[in-house]
Structure 1
Amino acid sequence: MAPQEGAAAAAGKGQPEAGAGSPRLFTWEEVALSNGQGRPAAARWLVIDRKVYDVSRFHKKHPGGSRVISGYAGQDATDAFTAFHLDKTLVRKYMKSLLIGELAPHEPSFEHSKNKLLVEDFRELRSTVEKLGLLKPNHLFFFLLFLHILLLEAAGWFVLWYFGISVTTFLISTVLLTLAQCQTNWLEHDLGHLSVFSSPKWNHIVHEFVMCHLKGLSANWWIRHHSQHHSKPNCFLKDPDLDIHPIPLSVGETPSMELGRQKKKYMPYNHQHQYFSFTLPPIVVPVFQAFSLYYVFKQKLWREIAWIVAYFVRFFVSFVPFFGVTGALGYLLLIKITDSIIFVWISQSSHIPMPIDYDKNLDWFSTQLQSTCNVHQSLFNDWLTGHLNFQIEHHLFPTMPRHNYWKVTPLVKSMCAKHGIEYQSKTLFTGFADILRSLKVYGEVWFKAYHQEQEACTLSRE
């Protein structure tokens, strides 16, 4: 029997019967075998606070998406569970039916015992963050953010209406509307991470309005996609942000080497640092727009469809009088492209330059520090990036309201220093330049592997 089949069989036997006495005990080795690999019906077990849960069926119903929870199959998901859920008491009630046992007493609480001190220190840091109230949102802060987005949108329309259409007013209006869309990106991001309201319900309701009606995108799709990214950032095959289509890029040294050895020449990856700027950044948001429309109709998300339709109606009612139907459509596309360019450069400056590899099953703190870096704090950087210049703090505490990132920074830096982990922070433009530098390195790795394989084949034929 294959390991996965044995784990699947054990999963069926491991389910405690009603009224059963002592729970079944597991070893980390048994849990690791149930990682969902090998075949679609393979068992998926994970550990939370030493309890072993069978999510083989539940992963398809998981509110955050199947891939989020499946990414931790065979692993310890304690810190990920803590990071993503606001109302843990409520969630644990639904987890009872998934419980199949617990770790044996001789098994360490974390799979990699050498990281025991780091894991314990981070959990103590998390406890300190909660005691200091750093996970509590300032509602006035977010109300003012929302208000300034509406003012930017209104000002973009007002300039054209009051001053008439000219090159100057067109450019001013475009800048204002693009900034409004960029700031909406960050606000919907806050809502999607449940960091604006204390209630998950209100975060979801307002997130749907902001994402669907102010951007015309699907909130449901975004949550599933982005939660996967946070779950396993920069982990090849688990982080959807690394699946960069329709423009193929080769990212990460190990994946680039493997791609080269496969001799699949989709693009001249050794030149990707040269074509990146005018290919991927302008199309990401327009592609998301098209995919969102496909997704909401396929999933029959009628409320989201209504909000998205209202978004398009509002836009065309506002700008058709200035540009006509065709011109308004072109103007919409222009704003989507400019919004996309800013969004990609800002979001990717903290990830693409960092190590990208297959999942190494590291602890939560190490995973986030290895895959993220910061941009220096300033009032301008904070505003332009929606405080995502604090990517490290955001990834460690995804539900933390952004206005508290700077407060936890000294604690995170202190922990990094204690454990000899680099805390990376750079200027905004250095972050942009590092995207191109890293793409150049990855492209060179691909090129070398590709041509070494080609030369090997030629020599073998000779």
Structure 2
Amino acid sequence: MSDSLELLQTQEDQKLLIIDNKVYDVTEFHQEHPGGSQVLLTHVGKDASDVFHAMHPTSAYEILANHYISDVPSTVSTGDMKAFAQDIRDLRDHLSTQDYFKANHLYYFYKLISTLAICFVAMLLLYRYGQESTTAMVFSAFLLGLFWQQCGWLSHDFGHHQVFGNRTWNNVALIFLGNFCQGFALSWWKNKHNTHHASTNVNGHDPDIDTAPVLLWDEYASAFYYGGLSTDTNNNKPTTATNQNRPSSVIDRFMAENVLPYQTRYYFFVLAFARASWALQSVLHLLQVGAINQSTPLRIYEIGCLFLHWVLFLSATIGWIDGVHHQLLFVILSQSFAGYFLALVFALNHNGMPVISPDQAESMEFFEIQVITSRDVKMGWIGNWFMGGLNYQIEHHVFPTLPRHQLPVVQPMVEAICRKHRVRYHTTSFIQGTLESLESLALAQKVARKLIKKST
């Protein structure tokens, strides 16, 4: 399929892809794609049928039709679809006819109210006792961090259009929860997260595993990152890497040689900065790239909500807490608590699972990649609440638009299909999953140390 599609790409660098045996030209559209440009570019020249159906509502078919250019030429063969992928498609069709993809709005109303209640309690504590009790201030920071984490899971649900059939209402709720409540820019998250779903754990394509120079998650990343540290025979010093992701500056080179080889030692310390880092990246994305959504009212709404979040957060911190040192402590603690609550869950989703090279991904089915690169985590009801349904990561990646409350119902169905076709379905505990992530970091740092020795 990919070889034949490359023949279609020779016409003035057209960006073509195939969906359901029809060819579509996204050369101009990819810049306007509501889910971000990169997610389309990762599938140019490929059959994108499964990822399209997994990520889009029915309304997207109307937009898609505007870019149709032809049916698949007779010289292009769709090949033999794997029985596993076909069984997953059949399950998706069955779930759709049985209304599994229709959300229970009462459930999400409860989730919204109960999540906002955490913020209310946190702010009430700060308002009543922030100027007289350090303990109350710390507990308020803890609750606020938890609120941001739970808002993250709700934002995720709305971002995947799990709740409303109307895409606009999902975006309105997403911007409120993401921009106003969390201080994250919707556009940054959409672009990054949709690309992650389209190319999960594919080296060089998935932005979620591209965390250098802070963390390297696998031997592929180490080999790629340290590929720029070759020895210059003239001065016997590491040369500057040509790739922007490799160590090129003095600081990057220092990190590469003296910090990254010991990443397991500082891993848990780094997690505290996760939320602050993501919030900063999202704001910079909005300023430098702009909003994805082409609707002017939604763009204004997004920017306004993000601005209001930080104005209100800083106003409450300064107005309700006595003393600059306590104010700084509250900011640091609230951001750090949220960082830990978010990152500890994110690390369990895919880190420590197989990382696939782009060449390997070309020969694999979309659903196969989603299953073998994801991890389910066995949790009780408290754990399920804390992880926001992401402990059913395999089911979520196979059916991203499936409402959260349906994931535990569908889980045995997906596992049964994997067992039938002997596709690796990995389930573990919270602690064991964390240890697997640490083992992956340890392997990457061992490779880093060996490459450093070779470059010196």
Query: What is the TM-score when the length of structure 1 is the normalising length?
Result: 0.84
- Tell me the CA shift for residue 151 of structure 1: 1.1
Distance in 2 between residues matched to 1:368 and 1:148, nearest whole Å: 31
Aligned counterparts of 1:92 and 1:401: Cα–Cα separation in 2: 21
How far 1:292 moved relative to its partner? 2.6
Q: Taking structure 1 as reference, are residues 370 and 173 closer, same or farther at Cα in structure 2, changes over 3 Å only?
A: same
CA contact (8 A) 2:150 2:388 kept: yes
Deviations 1:381-409 (A, max 9, x none): 11001010000011111111110001111
- Deviations for 1:27-47, whole angstroms, at most 9, x for unmatched residues? 6523035679xxxx7332211
For 2:32, the equivalent position in structure 1 comes to 61
Distance in structure 2 (CA, Å) of the matches to 1:170 and 1:417: 50
2:107 corresponding residue in structure 1: 141
Deviation, structure 1 residue 282: 1.9
Give the AA of the match of 1:199: N
1: CA distance between counterparts of 2:409 and 2:5? 38
Decide whether the 8 Å contact of 1:260 with 1:448 is kept in 2. Answer: no
In the alignment, is the contact (CA less than 8 A) between 1:284 and 1:344 conserved in 2?
A: yes
Determine the C-alpha separation between the residues in 2 that align with 1:191 and 1:83: 15
Correspondence for 1:426 among 425, 428, 441? 428
Match of 1:376 in 2: 378
1:32 maps onto 2:22 in alignment = no
Is the CA contact (8 Å cut-off) linking 1:262 and 1:450 kept in structure 2?
no
Deviates more, 1:403-412 or 1:426-435: 426-435
Letter in 2 for 1:352: N
Q: Which of these residues, 49, 60, 67, is aligned with residue 98 of structure 1?
A: 67
Q: Aligned partners of 1:29 and 1:188: how far apart in 2?
A: 39
- Alignment check: 8 A CA contact 2:317 2:331 kept: no
Match of 1:385 in 2: 387
Equivalent residue for 2:199, pick from 232, 248, 261: 232
Pairwise CA distance, 1:64: 1.0
For the residue of structure 1 that corresponds to 2:23, the secondary structure is strand
- Could you tell me how far apart the structure 2 residues matched to 1:191 and 1:288 are? 19
Q: Could you say which residue in structure 2 is the equivalent of 1:43? A: 14
* Paired residues of 2:203 and 2:220 also in contact (CA < 8 A): no
| Number of equivalences | 418
CA offsets 1:324-377 (integer angstroms, 9 cap, x no match): 584445523421222012211211212110111322222121110121101103
What code does the residue aligned with 2:152 have? Answer: N
Partner residue in 2 for 1:357: 356
Preserved CA contact (<8 Å) 2:157 2:403 = yes
1:42-87 deviation digits (Å, cap 9, x = unpaired): 3322110011122222212211111101111111100111011112
Task: Check conservation: 1:372, 1:391, Cα contact below 8 A.
Answer: yes
Contact 1:394 1:400 in 2 (8 A): yes
- Paired position in structure 2 for 1:83: 54
CA distance in 2, matches of 1:143, 1:170: 29
Residues 125/315 of structure 1: CA separation in 2 closer, same or farther (3 Å cut): same
Contact in 1 for aligned 2:367/2:398 (Cα 8 Å): yes
Task: Spell out, residue by residue over 1:193-231, the C-alpha distance to the aligned partner (whole angstroms, 9 max, x if none).
Answer: 111212111101111111111011111221111111111
Measured in 1, the distance between the counterparts of 2:349 and 2:321 equals 38
Q: Look up the equivalent residue of 1:303 and give its one-letter code.
A: Y
Over the residues paired in the alignment, what is the CA RMSD in angstroms? Answer: 2.4
AA of the residue aligned to 2:150: Q
1:137 positional shift = 0.6
Identical residues among aligned pairs (%): 27
Matches within 5 A, 1:378-417: 378-417=380-419
Q: Distance in 2 between matches of 1:379 and 1:207?
A: 25
| Secondary structure of residue in 2 paired with 1:277 | helix
The AA in structure 2 aligned to 1:239 is D
Aligned CA distance change for structure 1 residues 261 and 28 (closer, same or farther; 3 Å) = closer
Q: 1:131 to 1:174 in 2, by over 3 A?
A: same
Mapped partners of 1:237, 1:145: distance in 2: 36
Query: Judging changes above 3 Å, is the alpha-carbon distance between structure 1 residues 258 and 205 closer, same or farther for their aligned structure 2 residues?
Result: closer
CA–CA distance in 1 between the matches of 2:382 and 2:319? Answer: 35
**Residues of 2 paired with 1:369 and 1:34: CA distance?**
30
The match for 1:190 is 157
Q: Distance in 2 between the 1:352 and 1:42 partners?
A: 35
Corresponding residue of 1:297:
287
Corresponding residue for 1:249? Answer: 215
Say if 2:178 and 2:186, in contact at 8 Å, map to a contact too: yes
Between the aligned partners of 1:106 and 1:200, the Cα distance in structure 2 is 37
Counterpart amino acid of residue 175 in structure 1: F
Bigger RCO of structures 1 and 2 (CA < 8 A, at least 6 apart): 2
Change (3 A) 1:96 1:198: closer
- The structural deviation recorded for 1:452 is 4.4
Please report the TM-score for the alignment, with normalisation by the length of structure 2: 0.85
- The change in CA–CA distance for 1:446 and 1:317 in structure 2 (over 3 A counts) is closer
For residue 306 of structure 1, what is the aligned residue in structure 2? 304
1:105 Cα deviation after fit: 4.8
Displacement of 1:453 after TM fit?
A: 5.7
For the residues of structure 1 that align with 2:332 and 2:64, how far apart are their CA atoms? 45
Does structure 2 retain, via aligned residues, the 8 Å contact 1:381–1:387? no
The letter for the 2-side match of 1:171 is: V
Alpha-carbon displacement from aligned partner over 1:270-295 (angstroms, at most 9, x marks no partner): 3211122212x122221222233333
- Find the aligned partners of 1:350 and 1:393 in 2 and give their Cα distance: 12
